[in-house]
Amino acid sequence: MGLALVLALIVAPEDADQGISQRIFYIHVPIALTAYFCFGLGALKALLLLWRGDERYDLESYVAIHQGTIFGALTLITGAIWAKASWGVWWTWSSNQLVLFLVLFLFYCAYFMLRFSLEDGPRRARSSAVYALFGVALIPVSFLAIRLAEDFIHPTVFTREGPQMSGSMFATFVVSWGAVTLLAYLLYRVELAGKRLDADLRELREALQ
């Protein structure tokens, strides 16, 4: 796992012939895709929870969304750095993806507020699951909204000329995407294991009392 990450980081600069600022592409885009993936996974587990009623899915959904939010925050940070490097500003409302991530970030922060304010139990699990499902519906709807909003907020749109990816660049991209996904998966397993241990410990302690 560590090897894959190091490999991606070392391989990536070799292909970066678009200037140094373009290198962050190999980190930024995989992180963003991974964040989407985590949100999707969280919603899938949420759906399974509502469908099957197995409480195990609650923790899995929560951990997936937690990872998604962390990766979402990283996307915002790397996006801001990229924006500063290529457009000269830290934040631009004309980058649809960044605005979408800001909306999603706020949404999923509210998810944690909801979780922490409800009493532990099946009702909390189901409420969180419903909210997580709203999240995946919000992603395309917000994206459309942000696209539409450009009409009256920004008459002129930045055209980000997509650099045609050469074979080796694409390979690097795929490697770093794989590495980030693997990292996310590892973090997911670690956090899930930790949370499960925590829950087991609490049960044991209650049983002892």
Partner 1 sequence: MMYLADVVALTRKDLRVELRGRDTLPAMLLFVLSTLVVFHFAIPEDAGDNAAYGLLWVAIVFTALLGLARAWVPEQEHGVLDGLVLAPCDRSAIWLGKALATFVFLLAAQVVALPAFVLFFEPLDATAIAGVLLADVGICAVGSLLSAMAAAGRARELLLPLLFLPLAIPLIVGGVGAAVSEEGGRFLLFLLLYDAVFAVLSWASFEYVVTE
**Residues at the interface with partner 1 (CB under 8 A):** 50, 103-104, 106-107, 109-110, 113-114, 117-119, 122-123, 126-127, 129-131, 133-134, 137-138, 141-142, 144-146, 148-149, 151-152
> How far is it, in rounded angstroms, from Cα 183 to Cα 64?
13
For tokens 């995407």, the residue is: 177
CB of 33 to partner 1, least distance (A): 21
Asked if 46 contacts 113 with a C-beta cutoff of 8 angstroms, the reply is no
Neighbours of 87 (CB within 10 A): 15
Of residues 63 and 104, the one with the C-beta less far from partner 1: 104
Closer to partner 1 at the Cβ: 39 or 82?
39
User: 103 with 23: CB under 8 angstroms?
Assistant: no
CB of 20 to partner 1, least distance (A): 34
The nearer residue to partner 1, 61 or 172, going by C-beta atoms, is: 61
Nearest distance, CB of residue 57 and partner 1, angstroms: 13
Query: How far apart (Å, rounded) are the C-alpha atoms in residues 128 and 50?
Result: 10
Give least dist CB 155 to partner 1, A.
11
Q: What angle do CA 54, 59, 60 make, to 5 degrees?
A: 90
Place of tokens 């922490």: 116
Cβ nearer to partner 1, comparing 109 with 204 = 109
